[in-house]
Structure 1
Amino acid sequence: MKKNLGLKELVAIAVGGMVGGGIFTILGISVSIVGFLAPFAIALGGLIAFFAAYSYVKLGTYYQDEGATYAFFKRTYPNSHIAASFIGWYTVFGYISTLALYAYTFSSYSISGFEFANSELVRKSVAVGIIWVFAWVNLWSVRGMGKIEDLLVYTKLIILLLISVSLIYFGKTDLHTFSQTLLNDIDRSSIGSILIVASITFVAYEGFQLVINAVNDMEDPQTNIPKAIYTAVVLVALIYFIIAIGAVLAIPAEDLIRNKEYALASGAQEIMGHWGRDLVIFGAILATSSAISGTMFGSSRQMARIADDGYLPHRLANRKLTIPDNAIITMAMTATVLIIIGGLRLILEFGSITFLLVSLLMAIANFKIRKATHSSTLFTLTAITGLTVGTVLILYYEYITKPEQLFFIMGIYALLSLGAWAYARLRS
């Protein structure tokens, strides 16, 4: 069978999955914690993501299994049905929650210029609609999805870089003021607060592993998996850093904190007029569109792989050629339910914690078979340490800022654990 995805499409899938709504939501939180150090803390989050990606690359080229996260853990610990079922359920639901978030962010930006922008019914209706648009695209054709993802992602990158350059050019903060403020923020910020921002930022880098889900559709996995993942992580970290620098130079810190996910759009309008705001909105729409498409492509294949092993309903393993049609439809339906019932911010926090934990488990699995994957012991231990610290810090941040949100997340884990346990019992 002809392989439909080359390196260009694979980089697009990874970047599309990573650059979603994250960069539009993390700026305000980051600046509120560490001020002008935010761009550097966000870049540090990229470094954590790079070390996490190392284990995925090594495991991906060794196993070459589209089940990715789930399959790697299952094959590294083949005698544990409980471990396989739990990581499968957690990973899939993490992806579904990010799908819902991306769709909601898409909706918020796409209707922002209309009178009904504050209507929750309209916002949720548009979010549900865009989920099903990209479900249809993924059901239609792998090659068609790849070409659309190329167009969305590479156009998005140009727009985001244009936004960054414009913010820096029109910014009212000169370099002397920036350096003085930066020094003040260094004095008042602790290492712990910088690491907390880096940990929160990790969710904005989630998505690079989607490349591995396309292993059955890609050319030369041994070469293209590492090239695509490393290229995407470095590229996205650079883009985030430039956007963050532009934002803190051009937009007052109080505005970044107050306006949250609309900070870039409102700040661009203040300094560049309506066309600046429109440019940011267009960039946000492209960013969330490609993230929905890329995430649905990769995560539906992982869901099908888990179902094929008996840890989810077997119907979800059904395929037409290489397209897991029932898994795509199920993911779209579940994301629709999440959008309708609301609470997406809570689910987003669940997703960020989940992907830190899952990445930590991947690093541990890679350490176990490091000789087989030809992995560096130092790199792997560094990844384990960084991801452990990140997981502890984000839990601590949730506890001290929104303990009720942490309890809700624990409730979601309890429900998922019950389902995973039941299927593990059936499988064994």
Structure 2
Amino acid sequence: MLFRHRNAKIHRLYKEKLGLKELIAIGVGGMIGGGIFSVLGIAVGLAGNGAPISFLIDMLIALAAGYHYVKLCLTFRDDGASYTYLKRAFPDKLFISSIEGWVVILGYIGTLALYSFTFGAYGADLLGYPSSNLVRMVLSVLVLLFFYYVNVKGVRSSGVTEDIIVYVKILILSLFAVIGIARVDVHRFVPLMNKGVLPVFLGAAVIFVAYEGFQLITNAVAETENPDRDIPRGIYGSIMITGLIYFLLAVIAVGTLSYHQIVTAKEYALAMVAQPVLGVFGRVLIGIAALMATSSAINSTMFGASRMMAEMGEQGIMPKFLSKRNKKLVPVAALTVLFILSLLFSMLGSLSIIAEFSSLTFLMVSIGVSIANIKLKEKTHAHKGIALAGLILMAITSTTIIGYLLKTNPQEILVIFGLYVSVSVVAVTYMSKPFEIRQQ
């Protein structure tokens, strides 16, 4: 999904025109915002020894999705919101872009739940209670409550602090990957497809949320010095850099720990992987990096999502009360709704359920963007074959998640589709009302 406002600080931070290195920092920082800390254990649990391949498959899917964002971003150089692309593609069917906007907000809620769940899991591990669900839940609630308070008060982290967090977590993970790769026991990968070929693709489908974030680069198109050259390089480059880091970390995980050890520590798997590589210090270091990454992601996502909801309220796409702001122009009503729903999802859902929901939602939004690009191919100059191939790849990935859930947990897929249908019905019903009524 496309986080239109989450990266608003980029516009304030860089008064000078952005170059390639800044764009790559935006993309990599957005993707490694908590994803790898959350889904590594899930990937190994599903794909076994083939988990590193799952991350590479996801990289290819992300590149396919990135192609559509690149084309639309360079054609429509305004706000870059996914629902705006749908509005351009279907100007006479505003309910389509409205549904897309509502689904994006639903995705925000899922990712906030994912980040807070992960924060709680790594925090509980650092405190010495890795198996305590109660401690995890308390920490998840506290971190959401803290950043809700921060956002309501209008206290924003400085751009320098945000940049430090991004680069520190990338540095920690990169150094860990370099040190850990030398300790890998290649015999642990035999057989490589110990769970079969299909589980490797299933693992890729379920953990696709780890690549959510590269779209942030499209928000900076107006501030980019040479967008025609650097936007594509920034998006594709950040995806490949992130994919390489993910791949190396997955290799280290499978090559240093047993399947049972990784799956047992699913919620805080990366911290467990760090222990045989760097000892207790490594486990603590990765735990701190996870807390930094998820905290930053929660803060920026809550900031951006609330403002997107407020803007949709102002445009009549969502209820008018969501646009209400306090004296500091903070959209308190939108923040409150976002906080409550994210809190409930984080407390009631398991890590697997939250990841599956978030990945599927991200894919659905990307599919919508892909359809918009194909519909507007005469304007975006998209290659029809490449565009269709990317769309088909994402459709297959989405179908894989749905098929897996139908087989293993049909109740869960019913709940997820129930959410999508409910949101779609509300969006369409709300759009069908007279504008004056919608604005009340």
Bin for the TM-score computed over the shorter chain: 0.7 to 0.9
Question: Structure 2 CA distance, aligned partners of 1:270 and 1:222?
Answer: 44
Q: Is residue 222 from structure 1 mapped to residue 227 from structure 2 by the alignment?
A: yes
1:3 CA drift (Å): 4.5
> Equivalences for 1:59-208 in 2 at 5 Å?
59-66=72-79, 68-114=81-127, 120=133, 122-135=135-148, 136=150, 140=154, 144-171=157-184, 173=185, 175=186, 177=187, 181=190, 184-186=191-193, 189-190=196-197, 192-208=198-214
1:288 CA drift (Å): 1.4
Contact 2:141-2:343 within 8 A present in 1 as well: yes
TM-score, normalised to structure 1, is: 0.86
Contact 1:70-1:302 within 8 A present in 2 as well: no
Question: Structure 2 CA distance, aligned partners of 1:221 and 1:341?
Answer: 46
Contact 1:9-1:150 within 8 A present in 2 as well: no
Contact 1:23-1:240 within 8 A present in 2 as well: yes
Question: Could you say if the C-alpha distance between residues 207 and 321 of structure 1 is closer, same or farther in structure 2, counting changes exceeding 3 Å?
Answer: farther
1:330 CA drift (Å): 4.3
One-letter code aligned to 1:70: Y
1:13 CA drift (Å): 4.1
Which whole-Å deviations, capped at 9, do the CAs of 1:373-425 have from their partners, x for residues lacking one?
Answer: 12222221121111011111111111122222212212222332332232122
Aligned length: 418
Which deviates further from its counterpart, 12-21 or 133-142? 133-142
Question: Structure 2 CA distance, aligned partners of 1:212 and 1:373?
Answer: 15
**Residue among 4, 12, 26 paired with 1:4:** 12
Contact 1:21-1:287 within 8 A present in 2 as well: yes
Which deviates further from its counterpart, 93-102 or 219-228? 219-228
Q: Partner of 1:419 in structure 2?
A: 426
Contact 1:257-1:263 within 8 A present in 2 as well: yes
1:355 CA drift (Å): 1.1
1:221 CA drift (Å): 8.2
Q: Is residue 395 from structure 1 mapped to residue 408 from structure 2 by the alignment?
A: no
1:120 CA drift (Å): 4.7
Q: Partner of 2:413 in structure 1?
A: 406
Which whole-Å deviations, capped at 9, do the CAs of 1:54-75 have from their partners, x for residues lacking one?
Answer: 1112212222343611111122
One-letter code aligned to 2:320: H
Q: Is residue 239 from structure 1 mapped to residue 245 from structure 2 by the alignment?
A: yes
One-letter code aligned to 2:89: T
Question: Structure 2 CA distance, aligned partners of 1:331 and 1:339?
Answer: 12
Question: Structure 2 CA distance, aligned partners of 1:122 and 1:423?
Answer: 40
Identity of aligned residues (%): 37
One-letter code aligned to 2:267: E
Q: Partner of 2:279 in structure 1?
A: 273
Question: Structure 1 CA distance, aligned partners of 2:195 and 2:348?
Answer: 40
1:141 CA drift (Å): 7.1
> Equivalences for 1:306-385 in 2 at 5 Å?
306-317=312-323, 325-326=331-332, 327-328=334-335, 330-342=337-349, 345-385=352-392
Which whole-Å deviations, capped at 9, do the CAs of 1:324-356 have from their partners, x for residues lacking one?
Answer: 644455433432343355556434322211111
Contact 1:213-1:299 within 8 A present in 2 as well: no
Which whole-Å deviations, capped at 9, do the CAs of 1:201-222 have from their partners, x for residues lacking one?
Answer: 3111012223334667x45583
SS in 2 for 1:66: coil
One-letter code aligned to 2:402: L
Which whole-Å deviations, capped at 9, do the CAs of 1:96-142 have from their partners, x for residues lacking one?
Answer: 11112101211221232325665555433432333354453697477
Which whole-Å deviations, capped at 9, do the CAs of 1:5-25 have from their partners, x for residues lacking one?
Answer: 444665444333322333234
Which deviates further from its counterpart, 31-40 or 88-97? 31-40
Q: Partner of 2:40 in structure 1?
A: 27
SS in 1 for 2:262: helix
One-letter code aligned to 1:106: F
SS in 2 for 1:189: coil
> Equivalences for 1:29-68 in 2 at 5 Å?
29-66=42-79, 68=81
**Residue among 252, 261, 285 paired with 1:255:** 261
One-letter code aligned to 1:58: K
Question: Structure 2 CA distance, aligned partners of 1:382 and 1:320?
Answer: 47
Question: Structure 2 CA distance, aligned partners of 1:300 and 1:215?
Answer: 22
One-letter code aligned to 2:216: L
Which whole-Å deviations, capped at 9, do the CAs of 1:303-322 have from their partners, x for residues lacking one?
Answer: 34432321112343467999
Contact 1:68-1:302 within 8 A present in 2 as well: no
Question: Structure 2 CA distance, aligned partners of 1:384 and 1:365?
Answer: 11
Which whole-Å deviations, capped at 9, do the CAs of 1:134-174 have from their partners, x for residues lacking one?
Answer: 453697477x5533221111100011112222322333x1x
Contact 1:164-1:243 within 8 A present in 2 as well: yes
More helix by share: 1
Contact 1:28-1:256 within 8 A present in 2 as well: yes
Contact 1:367-1:380 within 8 A present in 2 as well: yes
